[in-house]
Amino acid sequence: MMTEPPHTPGHDPLLDEALDWIVRLKTGEPTQADLDALRRWRQQSAAHEEAFKTAARVYRRAGAAARELGDQELDNAAAIPRRPRLLARRALLAGTIAAAAGYVIVRPPLQAWPSLEELSADYRTRKGEQRKIAVAPDVSLELNTLTGIALRTAPNEIRLELVYGEALVTAQTLTSMPLVMLAGGGRVTASKANFNARCLDGIVAVACLEGTVTVEQGGRVVQLPRNQQVTYTSAGLEPSVTVDAAQISAWQTGLLVFRDRPLADVVDEINRYRSGKIIILSADLKRRIVNGTFQLDKLDNFVAQVEQLFGAKITQLPGGLVFMA
């Protein structure tokens, strides 16, 4: 059982405990008993839950901070006598986030257990799950598979963050406060619009389905009218393009629509919904072009279709693991 450190001015004992939990999870593969114990700790109070979300955000951002500060600055921070226990723990998190054990926690293999991104979200969906939520009287979201949304407080606006995944946002007449969605270092603002936002592997795509939305990133601002999409990464905004709104939002109706997409991209998308994982071993097979519509509730047929259409050699293993060659 964890012991609470003595309270000192400016010291947050719950945050300290939450960081302890993250370090504990980081040192190896957590068991179900570990996850159950963590859940009980978080459920003790709203303050416990908030402390854990804060600690998870510290962990997620520690890698970038470590790269900017460098090892020397981390050593200097750890040497400061003020709040030594907490500083040392935060230095550990920042200095080791890129290590293999840390990567396993941030990106657990085959979604074997919840990642810290998932744990830090206020609303999240599991693989294959979709969920509708209302964050304000005039704002509703539909979360696609493997998606996390965090609520953020800000004056004079309704603010939330797309931590990971994909969501379709409906913002009706917002006369007093605009909706602001943060995603991957950018900002999407809407007063009356429907838009689809997607944040995966450091790439953010925002498509306006109705009305007008404003996308800001890296000092640049783009106004998106209906049927326009913009994509950005840490390198900046790309030029906006025309998209098919029905195709973008097809997942809402239980469909995945692909037009002139390489099989590698199609498999990456299907892996977000289907249990297990499909892995393509052949470089030539990855480049094969796919045009088709697939039903989300019948994705088990996808493997057989690839076998028939492209003559792929299929090896199926327990747990939904499939190799294509």
> Is residue 296 over pLDDT 90?
yes
Rg (CA), the chain: 22
Angle between helices 13-26 and 46-79 (to 10 degrees): 80
> Is residue 320 over pLDDT 60?
yes
Q: Which long-range contacts (CB under 8 A, 24 or more apart) does 181-186 make?
A: 182/152, 184/232, 184/233, 184/234, 185/217, 185/218, 185/234, 186/215, 186/216, 186/217, 186/218, 186/232
- pLDDT, position 83: 42
Cβ neighbour number for residue 63 with a 10 Å cutoff: 18
Q: Between residues 132 and 33, which one has the greater pLDDT?
A: 132
Cβ neighbour number for residue 68 with a 10 Å cutoff: 9
CB 221 within 8 A of CB 240: no
- pLDDT, position 72: 42
Q: Does 88 lie in the same domain as 152?
A: no
- pLDDT, position 11: 52
Does residue 87 lie within any of the structural domains?
yes
At 267, which CATH number? Answer: 3.55.50.30
- Domain boundary at 200, 217, 247, which? 247
Tell me which residue range forms the domain holding 174: 123-247
pLDDT exceeding 70 applies to what percent of the chain? 74
Does residue 2 lie within any of the structural domains?
no
At 227, which CATH number? Answer: 2.60.120.1440
Q: Does 127 lie in the same domain as 107?
A: no
- Tokens coding 253: 């109706």
pLDDT exceeding 90 applies to what percent of the chain? 53
Angle between helices 84-96 and 13-26 (to 10 degrees): 30
Does residue 266 lie within any of the structural domains?
yes
Angle between helices 300-310 and 263-271 (to 10 degrees): 170
CB 165 within 8 A of CB 152: no
Residues in the chain: 325
| Torsion sign (Cα): 169, 175, 177, 183 | positive
Q: Does 76 lie in the same domain as 111?
A: yes
Q: Does 165 lie in the same domain as 133?
A: yes
pLDDT, tens digit (0-9, with 9 covering 90-100), for 107-124:
554 444 455 556 668 899
Helix ranges, 108-241 (H): 116-120
- Domain boundary at 232, 247, 262, which? 247
> Is residue 309 over pLDDT 60?
yes
Residue 29 pLDDT class (50, 70, 90 cuts): low
Q: Does 75 lie in the same domain as 44?
A: yes
Does residue 8 lie within any of the structural domains?
no
Q: Cα separation of 54 and 56, whole Å?
A: 5
> Is residue 69 over pLDDT 70?
no
Q: Cα separation of 171 and 54, whole Å?
A: 28
Report the number of distinct structural domains present in the chain.
3
Does residue 5 lie within any of the structural domains?
no
Does residue 264 lie within any of the structural domains?
yes
- Give me the mean pLDDT over the 172-197 stretch: 89
Q: Cα separation of 116 and 130, whole Å?
A: 20
Bridge partners, 223 (sequence order): 214
> Is residue 175 over pLDDT 80?
no
pLDDT, tens digit (0-9, with 9 covering 90-100), for 128-152:
999 999 998 889 999 999 999 999 8
- pLDDT, position 85: 46
- Mean of the per-residue pLDDT values of the chain: 81
- pLDDT, position 13: 79
Q: Between residues 237 and 173, which one has the greater pLDDT?
A: 237
Q: Does 273 lie in the same domain as 238?
A: no
pLDDT, tens digit (0-9, with 9 covering 90-100), for 224-279:
999 999 999 999 999 999 999 999 999 999 999 999 999 999 999 999 999 889 99
